[in-house]
Amino acid sequence: MPATGPASTLLAEHHPADAQEREYLARIRGLVQDDVSWFSRQHFEPGHVTASGFVVSPDGRKLLLIHHAKLDMWLQPGGHVDPEDGSLELAARREVMEETGLRELLPLPGFPRAVDVDVHVIPANPRKGEPGHRHYDVRFAFWATDEALQAGSDALDARWVPLEQVRDAGTDDSVRRAVRKLSLRLKGWASMEPACWPAAERNKQPILEVLQRWIPEPCRVLEIASGTGQHAAWFAEGLPHVQWQPSDASVRYWQSIHGRRLRSGLPNLLPVVPVDVLEPLRPMPPVDVVYCANMIHIAPWEATDGLFRSAASVLREGRGQLITYGPFQEAGVPMVQSNVDFDAHLRSRDPRWGIRHLDDVARIAAEHGFRLVERLQMPANNLMLRWERAGD
């Protein structure tokens, strides 16, 4: 069950939209500060805490609603908190995915963790021996990476409803209140221009020409630290035989990556997934290649270890390579002045950053079973490095 402390902190940070929601928030906070029994679905007097999710479509223009069988209404998906759920947000995510068949949910960029709270009555269910009770519902905002749906057991149907049509979709006041909040922040969201880095525009073609030689066969590539998505879109177009999987640890880049995917229409450019090399890698299908550009020097040294650790865990057994791009220091090779200045600039921004020595990177690589098999000099004093697992 979720701990009462984090749940209380989450609710303390929530800002209600009106007097009605303020009352609901006070009632829910009064419950969760006591003990975890309030999360149990067997707690009927006066009820128990639940979790649900308002899911926005990839283009930011539609909301996911399910036709709830018990209530005969179109509502957001959600439900009870299970003992194995580590937090209310994880409970909401699980319930949404179970009820709708969505395979991936991301936090909605630019939104607070909890977007709404509500208290509502659940009718008695004699078949299950459940008396009438209340759900003290904490609602979260999610972003879907695709629109494929399959209604679960508690839903008669699931559908995407344009935000401006939700009020007439046979729902309730609490959903309409949440949609007002979403609509205010989503105005112009879908039409925002993806972010663009000049350096990525300059280096994408030289890098692509190398990748076309190094990745000649159909395969699946995981890009770590995709940033704005410029490389992902360019490489997916230039490598049509490759399934390109972008990822990033920062929520602020997901919208840019997804915008490029929508605009490109490329079937081999997959939806962005969250990957933070400082954390254990999330479960995902194995890949044949891991690609990472310009991260090692703009991250703590621990991220380099995390990059090779993550690559070792996700690369397909018996094959696989890690490709890195960026500036490096090399033994016996004086750094050009532009890289000296760049290194000083990086360290002034964050003392944990800086241009790494290739020998140090190779040592970390070896600890995770990788060896450097190819080194190419690239424009602007960068290197492109191909690493293979020592046993492959």
pLDDT tens digits along 336-391 = 999 999 999 999 999 999 999 999 999 999 999 999 999 999 999 999 999 998 76
User: At which of 157, 186, 215 does a domain end?
Assistant: 186
The structure's pTM equals 0.75
Quickly state the pLDDT bin for 270 (edges 50, 70, 90). very high
Residues 41 and 177 in one domain: yes
What radius of gyration do the chain's Cα atoms show?
Answer: 24
Residue 182 lies in a domain: yes
Question: What pLDDT shows up at residue 322?
Answer: 98
**Torsion sign, CA atoms 386, 297, 276, 279:** positive
Helix and strand counts by DSSP (H, E) for the chain? 10, 16
- Answer whether residue 176 shows pLDDT above 80: yes
Residues 167 and 310 in one domain: no
Write down the residue that tokens 């020097």 correspond to: 297
Instruction: Give SS3 for 162.
Output: strand
Instruction: Give SS3 for 80.
Output: strand
- At residue 200's C-alpha, the angle toward residues 199 and 206, to 5°, is 100
Residues 52 and 180 in one domain: yes
Residue 327 lies in a domain: yes
Instruction: Give SS3 for 130.
Output: strand
How far is residue 290's CA from residue 388's CA, in Å, rounded to a whole number? Answer: 10
Kindly report which listed range (191-205, 288-302, 346-360) carries the lowest average pLDDT score. Answer: 191-205
Residue 193 lies in a domain: no
How far is residue 264's CA from residue 256's CA, in Å, rounded to a whole number? Answer: 12
> Which CATH number does the domain housing residue 257 bear?
3.40.50.150
Question: What pLDDT shows up at residue 4?
Answer: 55
Number of domains in the chain: 2
Residue 192 lies in a domain: no
Tokens for 116, please give them: 């709404």
Residues 33 and 90 in one domain: yes
Q: Where are the beta strands (DSSP E) in 95-249?
A: 105-107, 114-122, 133-144, 155-162, 219-224, 242-245, 247-248
Residue 348: domain span: 198-389
Residues 94 and 132 in one domain: yes
Residues 211 and 90 in one domain: no
How far is residue 372's CA from residue 386's CA, in Å, rounded to a whole number? Answer: 6
Residues 133 and 239 in one domain: no
**Torsion sign, CA atoms 310, 313, 317, 318:** positive
Name the nearest CA neighbour of 64 among 127, 126, 146, 187.
Answer: 146
User: At which of 158, 186, 214 does a domain end?
Assistant: 186
- Answer whether residue 209 shows pLDDT above 80: yes
Residues 178 and 105 in one domain: yes
Residues 238 and 115 in one domain: no
Residues 22 and 113 in one domain: yes
Kindly report which listed range (138-152, 323-337, 356-370) carries the lowest average pLDDT score. Answer: 138-152
User: Would you give the distance in Å from CA 209 to the centre of its chain?
Assistant: 29
Residues 136 and 227 in one domain: no
- Answer whether residue 281 shows pLDDT above 90: no
Residue 171 lies in a domain: yes
